[in-house]
Amino acid sequence: MFKYLFIIFLGISSSVYADVWFYEDQNGVMHFAQEKKGSKWRLLMRTPKSLNPPKAKSTQQKAPNQRPYHQLIVASARRHKLDPALVHAVIATESNYRADVVSRAGAMGLMQLMPATAERFSVTDPFMPEQNIEAGTRYLRWLLNEFESLQLALAAYNSGENTVKRYGFAIPPYKETQNYVTKVIERYKKNLSLVQ
């Protein structure tokens, strides 16, 4: 059931301030490393040696249990058999913990629910943290069950489940979606290290 979690630990740097190489295998699974491991590996991000890491926003420096809405996140995550550290990573990426934010595409609240998703999960007020987090975690669990892959579930959360299916159950070739998947996984890994 949790077989998709193994990719998180495959060579991803413990610091996000290093070169990151990636390789997509024939199943659409993305693998990450700090160095090129073969001819199929491509550079995702290069960080100059002289670059000092920027200071993270205070929310990102805190352990997940010290961030806003932590108790709501834990309750919903447990109900839907998700790791709270993953839900924190999605919320940080989607809205940076702002319950009132609306995207240009119309996504709303902490977990940036699209109107159709909010309706699908019976949300009456997408700006109410309890409803937004509950619907977002239910949807994320549904996507994980549907795609059996953390990366594909995150890609579907960002670009839509039908988009992932249209591209043959692979991460769509959209830079925004590819960056989103990478960012959430990096934040998830960082959250895991903060709670250990």
Our answer to whether residue 94 is catalytic in this structure is yes
Annotated catalytic residue: which of 24, 35, 94, 130?
94
Sequence-distant (≥ 6) Cβ neighbours of residue 106 within 8 angstroms: 114, 115
Sequence-distant (≥ 6) Cβ neighbours of residue 138 within 8 angstroms: 76, 80, 121
Give the residue among 85, 81, 55 at the shortest CA–CA distance from 195.
Answer: 85
Q: What is d(CA 21, CA 132) in angstroms, rounded to the nearest whole number?
A: 34
Q: What is d(CA 27, CA 148) in angstroms, rounded to the nearest whole number?
A: 12
Residue type, 131: Q
Give the residue among 81, 105, 117, 120 at the shortest CA–CA distance from 177.
Answer: 105
Q: What is d(CA 7, CA 30) in angstroms, rounded to the nearest whole number?
A: 8
Show which residues are catalytic.
94
